[in-house]
Amino acid sequence: MAQEKQPQRKKIEATGQMMQIMSDYFYDLNAAAKSAERKVAWCTSVGPAELLRAMGFAVHFPENHAAMLGATRMATELIPEANTIGYSPEICSYLTADIGAYLKHVSPLAKAYPGIEAPPRPDVLVFNTNQCRDVQDWFSWYAKELNVPCIGICSPKNHTEVSEVLIDDVSRQIEALIPTLEEVSGQPLDLQKLREVVALSRECTELWRQVLETAAAAPAPLTFFDATIHMGPAVVLRGTPQAVAYYRRLLAELQARINSGTGAVDDEQFRIYWEGMPVWGRLRQHSELFAGLQTSVLVSTYCSSWIFPDFDPLDPIRSMAKAYLSLFIVRSDAYKETYIKRMLEKFHIDGIIYHDAKTCPCNSNSRYGMPQRLEQQTGIPSLVISGDLNDLRCVSDEQTITNVEAFIEQLEERKHHA
Amino acid sequence: MTTAVFVGLDMGASRTKVVVIDAQGQMRGHAVKKSGIDFAATAAFCLDTALAQTGAARCDILAAVATGYGRNNVAFITQESKTEIGCHARGCYHSFPEAITILDIGGQDNKIIKLDSRGRRDSFKMNRKCAAGTGAFLEEMSSRLDIPLAEMNDLARQATQVLKLGSYCTVFSATEVLENIRHGKPVADIVKGIFYSMIQRVLEMDALSEKVVLSGGVVAHNPYLVEMAAELIGRPVLLPEFPQLTGALGAALYARDGFQESP
Instruction: Verify whether the Cβ–Cβ distance A2 to B78 is below 8 Å.
Output: yes
Determine the Cα–Cα distance for residues B192 and B207; give it in Å rounded to an integer: 24
Residue predicted with more confidence, A354 or A9: A354
Among the partner residues B79, B84, B121, nearest to A402 by beta-carbon distance: B84
* DSSP at A11: -
Strand partners, A128: A153
Compute the count of residue pairs across chains A and B with CB atoms less than 8 Å apart: 53
Which of A8-22, A172-186, A219-233, B85-99 shows the lowest per-residue confidence on average (mean pLDDT)? A8-22
Chain A residue with CA closest to B88: the answer is A406
| pLDDT at position B133 | 79
Q: Nearest-CA distance from B86 to chain A in Å?
A: 6
- Residue A64's nearest CA partner among A49, A91, A51, A45 is A45
Q: Nearest-CA distance from A392 to chain B in Å?
A: 12
Residue B58 parent element (H or E) = none
Quickly count: other Cβ atoms within 10 Å of residue A40's Cβ: 24
Q: Which residues on A lie below 8 Å from B77 (Cβ)? A: 1-2
Determine the Cα–Cα distance for residues A392 and A400; give it in Å rounded to an integer: 12
Q: Nearest-CA distance from A407 to chain B in Å?
A: 8
Burial of B260 (0-12, 13-18, 19+ CB in 10 A): exposed
A89 in B contact zone (CB under 8 Å): no
Q: Write out A258-318 in H/E/C secondary structure.
A: HHHCCCCECCCCEEEEEECCCCHHHHHHHHHHHHHCCEEEEEEHHHHCCCCCCCCCCCHHH
Average pLDDT over residues A121-149: 97
Strand partners, A356: A386
Determine the Cα–Cα distance for residues A217 and A206; give it in Å rounded to an integer: 18
A376 in B contact zone (CB under 8 Å): no
The whole model's pTM is what? Answer: 0.91
Average pLDDT over residues A242-268: 97
pLDDT digits (tens, 9 = 90+) for A354-395: 999 999 999 999 999 999 999 999 999 999 999 999 999 999
B66 in A contact zone (CB under 8 Å): yes
Residue A186 parent element (H or E) = none
Chain B residue with CA closest to A409: the answer is B86
Determine the Cα–Cα distance for residues A404 and B85; give it in Å rounded to an integer: 11
Q: Nearest-CA distance from B234 to chain A in Å?
A: 24
Average pLDDT over residues A223-244: 96
CA-CA-CA-CA dihedral for A184, A185, A189, A193, to nearest 10: -150
| Contact between A71 and A44 (Cβ < 8 Å) | no
Q: Is the pLDDT of residue A5 over 60?
A: no
- The C-alpha R_g of chain B, in whole angstroms, comes to 19
Instruction: Verify whether the Cβ–Cβ distance A410 to B74 is below 8 Å.
Output: no
Q: Is the pLDDT of residue A2 over 50?
A: no
How would you list the strands of the sheet with B27-34, edge to edge? Answer: B27-34, B15-21, B5-11, B61-67
| pLDDT at position B130 | 72
Determine the Cα–Cα distance for residues A37 and A133; give it in Å rounded to an integer: 32
Which of A148-152, A226-230, B17-21, B205-209 shows the lowest per-residue confidence on average (mean pLDDT)? B205-209
Q: Which amino acid is at B163?
A: L
Strand partners, A273: A299, A352
The interface pTM score, or ipTM, of the predicted complex is 0.85
| pLDDT at position A3 | 45
pLDDT (tens place) for every residue of chain B, 263 residues total: 458 999 999 999 889 999 999 999 999 999 999 999 998 999 999 999 999 999 999 999 999 999 998 887 777 778 888 999 999 999 999 999 999 999 999 888 899 999 999 999 999 998 876 777 788 888 888 988 899 999 999 999 999 999 988 877 778 888 888 899 989 999 999 999 999 999 998 998 898 988 999 999 999 999 999 999 999 999 999 999 999 999 999 999 999 999 888 76
Question: What percentage of chain A has pLDDT greater than the value 70?
Answer: 98
Among the partner residues A3, A386, A409, nearest to B129 by beta-carbon distance: A386
| Contact between A39 and A119 (Cβ < 8 Å) | no
SS3 A344: helix
